[in-house]
Amino acid sequence: MSKIDHGGLMERPPTADEIDSAAHAATAIAVAMELDGGLRISGENGSPVRIAPAVGHLIIELLGHVASGNMVTLVPVGTMLTTQQAADMLNVSRPHLTKLLKEGEIDFEEVGKHRRVPLDALMAYRDRKRRRREDVLDDLARLGQEFDQG
């Protein structure tokens, strides 16, 4: 009997077989949802179970990440992250994340001697940073156009 890998794609990138499987599954689910307006699968004793479209789209998105070769971690909204988990989600070092926390860029809570970062605070920081980057790129494009015209 093979050992079940509970860490799985949270701990490592998907294999070629997993990538292929995820791509085919995402396509099959998308087609099934388009035909039925939802996803129907067999539950216990073969009884039909309907999966709502919003849940089906979430499953397709998850499979899409796996099909792209990405490691995947599911984090429920409202989750409190360790500084290492938060750093990993931003793709920065833990010391850099700690600096952002100390500078007030990202809200956090002290739990004993440890800092915990609310997922929504981390996502808000990421969105602010993305918007700032887009604004700067828009400004650069505008300046480039003005330069070309002048």
Q: What is the pLDDT along the chain (150 residues), one digit of tens a residue?
A: 344 444 577 778 899 999 999 999 999 999 988 887 778 888 888 898 888 888 989 999 999 999 999 888 787 878 899 999 999 889 899 999 999 999 999 999 999 999 999 999 999 999 999 999 999 999 999 888 888 886
CATH 1.10.1740 fits 80-148, yes or no: no
The residue ranges of every structural domain in the chain are: 16-68, 80-148
What does the block give as tokens for 112? 């004993």
Pick the closest to residue 70 from 126, 13, 21, 32 (CA basis). Answer: 13
Q: Using alpha carbons only, give the angle 116, 122, 124 rounded to the nearest 5 degrees.
A: 140
